[in-house]
Each structure stands twice: as structure tokens, then as C-alpha cells.
Chain A
Amino acid sequence: MTLSRRALVAGSALMLVGRPARAASARRIVSIGGAVTEILYRLGQDAEIVGVDSTSLYPAEALRTKADVGYIRALGAEGVLSLNPSLLLAAEGAGPPDALRLIEQAGVTVVRVPGEPSPAGIVERVRVIAQILDIPERGAALIREIEQGFAQLAEAKARITRPSRALFVLSLQNGRPLVGGQGTTADAMLALAGASNAAASLSGWKPLSDEGLIAAAPDAIVMMEHGPDGAAKDPFTLPAFAATPAAETRRLVVMDSLYLLGFGPRTPAAARDLMAALHPDQAGKAKQP
């Protein structure tokens, strides 16, 4: 116990002294969160990244070439510190909070990046990251590009006269669909894509009963490419799905989860793709930015 007391004293003394600040040129960034990593790559800062979390699936080279510090919510303080970082960019939900606090105490600048799933939220994320990296021009350029993408999206959306009624199915465990209601990222994406959410009466991710599914009467089903029971199964083989209008046209849209729900720089394009898939006869093909 004398040992630990001494350690406590030594530790607190150390905290007061702090770490010498590093030169900006030798910046070592640990990026936590798929959208954050994506933005860093788009801003051309990938050389400065030393570590990413396991949700940083895009671009694929991130997890291939950078150290993996584990799941976004289960970070280890020493694991992150072993990379000797100077900056940690943490998306919303990164944790546990005590690990982040320890990393901060070790003299690493920890910046929490806001996570609101909306066009304004994406712009805010880019702005915060560009500001902390001190590259305002690149940030402004990326923001312009993103805003342009959303503007084009809005134009395309205005051309839609009959919005598709879509149901977003996150998983299909045991034939029970878990669907995205109001307030979910899925709801936000459907809105961006000019579709109406067939599960708008629910709030949050909720399991939907067979009768609820038939009553929701979706024109289309959106599912994830990845995930435990993602698109591995054809939902229309299930009786409840077979009874929906979507089954008649066999309209099933399958997309990559980070692309569709990540709310990063690719979101305008993802929304255009979703729009085109949901309204094949109405929306023109998206112009690639």
C-alpha cells in the first residue's frame, strides 16, 4: 500500500508537469470512428494516422496499413498510448470514458467529434477536424464539395413525385426484422433519398411483428450488405415479407452499412444511390462528383 500511495503522489505530480508539446509536423493521429477516418483520408491526412478503430472500414487500406486499437467502445488506454499519439479524434460513442480520460491525462489531445446524422452534422464534423488539424482550406474545399453534393441531391429529390415507401431492415435474426424508426440514421437517410419511412410510427431500432410489417406496406426493403444476417437471406421467402407491395416488384436494395449509415463525406453519393434504387423510374442517374 505504501507503494500505491507513492505512485499516486508521483502520478499527480506528473500530471501537473504534463507532456512537452510536439511539433505539428510530427503529428501522430489515432482516429476513432468510421466517419472520422474517412474524413481524414479525404482531407489527405492519412500519412499522419498511426492507429484506427475496428469500425474504420473505409477506405479498406486504413485497417490494413494502420494499427487496430480495437472496437470503438472498448479502447484500452495503454494500447492507444503505445502508438505514442499526439492527437486522438474520437467519434461520438468512443470509450470507455475513463480510458479516454487516461489518454488525455497522458498529454494526448483528445478531440470529441460531434456525431449528428444530418448534412449539417457532416459539415460540422469536417469543420471540427480541419480546424484541429489546422488545414482550413482543405476543410473548406471538402465542405464545399459535400454541400454541392447535397444541393444536387435536393434537386433530384424535388423531381420525385411519388416518394417510395421504404422499410429499413437492419437485421433479420430468426426471421424477425429489426427496423429503423424515427430518429435513426436509417430514417435520416430515407428522408435524404426522398423516400418515406414505412416504419415512421416507431422510434429507434425496433423489432417489427409480422402483422406490423404487413400493415406498414413498404414498397421497398433496404438491407445491409454486412452484418450477421444482412443480405444473406432473401427476405421475400418469409410469408410476412411476401405479403408486402415490395414483394410484388421484388424491390430489395442492399447497400454497404458504413457507406449508407456512416454520415461521412460519401453520404450525398450514398443518398443518391439509394434514391435511384428506390425510385428507378423517377430520379435521374446521380452525377458523380
Chain B
Amino acid sequence: MSAILEAWNIAYRAGGRMLIEGIDLSVERGTVTIIVGPNGAGKSTLLRVLCGELAPATGEVLLNGAPLHRIPAWRLAHTRAVMPQASELGFPFSAFEVAHLGVEGIGRGLSRGDRQRIAASALDQADVAHLARRNYQTLSGGERQRVHFARVLAQLEAGRTVETRQVLFLDEPIASLDLRHQLALLNKAKCLAREGLTIIAVLHDLQLAADIADSLVLVQAGRLVARGNAGTVLSPGRLLDVFGVSLIPPSLPPSPWTLASSN
């Protein structure tokens, strides 16, 4: 019905090797899609092709019905935000300035005060308002990741003045976070999805992925091997096939933890 992002037959080649190949994918608006798979399966590459950072060797990605490579960079920045795995900063920007980078040049009809309010509120939502004035370079890995989460939230908030059908891409967004912040970030993402934002993320933690995803995408050796809800994708046979681990079904309940605040 309302597919916001469609990809058909995409492949990406680097250094003479196919990193991903023959992938078809359709993502519904307002859903959370999680890409899972073993190391080196091509999860991040797939995400980078879907968000427009890498141009596919074959096939095409459509965002809101338009070919991705035809959408100019500024327009794309209003439609989707990307949170990277890890980011080193060349200069001693404060956390507030980093969050503010998300709103610079994004959005229409926003005053300077509006933009600063958006950045401050995003820091608040990512639970890093108390770090606003700290030098980003002196923050811990987890704190940095939350600052970047604030930055993409700010970007989407500002971009909403131009485009409301938005996508948020997250590449291992919780890798350096403690458990409380892992849950808080995923919870926030899920809330945003309820409000109509589309989330596409790469996650390593299968249990968290199974819990939060509306739809799981399992990739192996550059190919999409399964797509659907956690129960169908993460069957014991497939886990043995893809990850090489043998799990007894009860150890992976459909919803291992109930997030207290998710409802």
C-alpha cells in the first residue's frame, strides 16, 4: 500500500567483490525495519545504499516514489537522516554545536531561535542536555552516540517543515550504549515510528531486534535470505544456517523483555 522506500535488484561492488547482490526490499511507512546478519554479511553496505550514500552498481532505490539518485542532496537531507556507527570530529565542537549541525540549512521558515530550540530539545530527548557545553572530543563513546542521535532527531524535526514522509537510518545505534540508554534509544525510535517516521536500522543484538522490529531483514553473504516478523525469520534452523549457532527455541521467546515504557 504505502511503501515509502523500495529497492529492487540492488548490488554494490567494491574492490572487485560483490558486497551485496540481488536485493529486493520494500519498506512500509511508519514501521521499524531491522537488518540483521552475521559479521561481513553486508548489513551496513545495504543501509548505505538505501540511504543514498553509496550508488548501487545495479538496480534502483526509490524514496517516496522518486529514484534516489535523482533527489538532490539538500532535498534528501529533509527526507531522511542517518546516524553513523562512530564519528571522530576534527575540531573541538561542543555537544550543542554538533546537535545544531543537524538543523543548519535544513527546514523552511525557521528562525535562528527556532533552530537553536530544536537542537536543545533534541539533546533533551537523547538525554544529553547536561552535556550541551562539553567538548564533543572529550565525551565517551556512548555519550557521543547519544549526541549524534540528538543530531539526527534535530535534522528530522527541522526537515519536517518541508517533508513529512521521513526515514531515519540507524547503523548500530546502540553499540556503545549501556543497557538503560540502549532501551531508551530504541524506545524513542519506536515512538517516532508510531508518529509516522519510518525506521531502518542495523542491529547486532537479535533479542532487541526481535523485540522492536515490525519487520526483520536477514542478510547473509550479501544476499537477502529472509524477511518478515521475528518468529518466521529467526527460526532455529535458519539461526544454525546463518549464524552457526544452535539455539533451543525457548531461549528465544518472541518478546524476551517487555519494555516498561513502550506501551
Quick check: do A and B touch in the complex, using CB within 8 A? no
Binding site for B on A (CB under 8 A): none
